[in-house]
Amino acid sequence: MVQFILSFHNNHSMEIWIEKHRPEKIEDIGGQAEAVRILKGFISSGEMPHLIFAGPPGVGKTTAALCMAKEMIGENWRDHFLELNASNDRGINIIREDIKDFARTQAITEGKFKIVFLDEADELTPEAQAALRRTMEVYFRNVRFIFSCNYSSGIIPPIQSRAVVIRFGRIESDDMKHILKKIIASEKMNLNEEIIDAIAENASGDMRKGLNILQSLYYVENPETRDVYEIAGNVEEKKLVPLLSNSRHGNYDEASSIAMDLLINGGYSAIDIVKGLHTLIIKERSPIILKRESIIALSDVETRLVQGGSDKIQLDYLVARLCKIYTENS
């Protein structure tokens, strides 16, 4: 159990680190070299088209939009920047009211334009997006739009054709560790390389998740690698090795007992165990046929769990299937 000791750093602000350590300039965004290169070109020219930022959560899309506003508009950027979360209001009213009123007026500073940032823009209804296309055309002199989404396919083609798509990938492990080490130094934390590796692994390319784990560790006395997994809600790898090892050797009873112990006494869900096994199997050196069949088995079990299947029954089924896979192909 992680022991949090808030009094240990009682003079330290409870400020959220994802905001505290958010980059101020485009060039300071880590792990997105290609996106940064393109956006720096727009800043240098003093002009930008409508933009679509596409990529998974926690990879710098919102940060990039804020940096663009600060660097393109200057000191009055807050008065010329409208940020909306499209998932909160998915209908056409968000276009007719908030956005249209903002877009009608010109920027106070001559030669500048306003920026509308629509987060989760793929959640907008097709009707709302169609209305937005017209606003983009009519008020182009006054305003530029930045759409943020997980997949650009969620944006209707007429908007895609009027915007430049910038793709943000998951943060590579080395890039994430480099960013984490800078923050660790600035916060005067003392973490070993093993803990930093564990944070990067559990964050899975999501910088926001990595920073949240790191901030939680700040309030843990003498943090260890297992604390990272506990904070992240993932099963520590070394707890799954005996489960996989016994399955490899066809020891169904022992493997099933380990799985049940993780479920009942460990407090992990079957989904947690399945995801942990997936990571372990991907990393292990084994014949491709074993990996392939094992991943298919994990996929089948996860599907049933999502559909409401019993954790105990599905875990027992998974163990039986893994035992059979390794017995038949070894």
Inter-residue contact 166 to 138 (CB < 8 Å): no
Render each residue's pLDDT in the chain as its tens digit; 330 residues: 555 544 445 445 568 999 999 999 999 999 999 999 999 999 999 899 999 999 999 999 999 999 999 999 888 898 889 998 876 655 566 666 778 878 887 766 666 788 999 999 988 888 888 888 888 888 888 899 999 999 999 999 999 999 999 999 999 999 999 999 999 999 999 999 999 999 999 999 999 999 999 999 999 988 999 999 989 988 988 999 999 999 989 999 999 999 999 999 988 999 999 999 999 999 888 889 999 999 999 999 999 999 999 999 999 999 999 999 988 886
CATH domain 237-329 topology: Zinc Finger, Delta Prime; domain 3 (1.20.272)
- CATH superfamily label, 32-167: P-loop containing nucleotide triphosphate hydrolases (3.40.50.300)
* Nearest partner of 32 among 3, 64, 79, judged by Cα: 64
Residues 60, 134: Cα–Cα separation, whole Å: 28
Distances (CA, A) of 234 to 194, 226, 240: 16, 10, 11
89 backbone dihedrals φ, ψ, rounded to 5°:
-140, 100
* Nearest partner of 9 among 300, 259, 278, 220, judged by Cα: 220
What's the pTM? 0.82
Which tokens belong to 282? 């991907």
User: What secondary structure does DSSP assign to 24-39, as a single string?
Assistant: SSGGG--S-HHHHHHH
CATH entry, 6-10+180-232, from 1.10.760, 1.10.575, 1.10.8, 1.20.120: 1.10.8
Q: What are the structural domain ranges in the chain?
A: 6-10+180-232, 32-167, 237-329
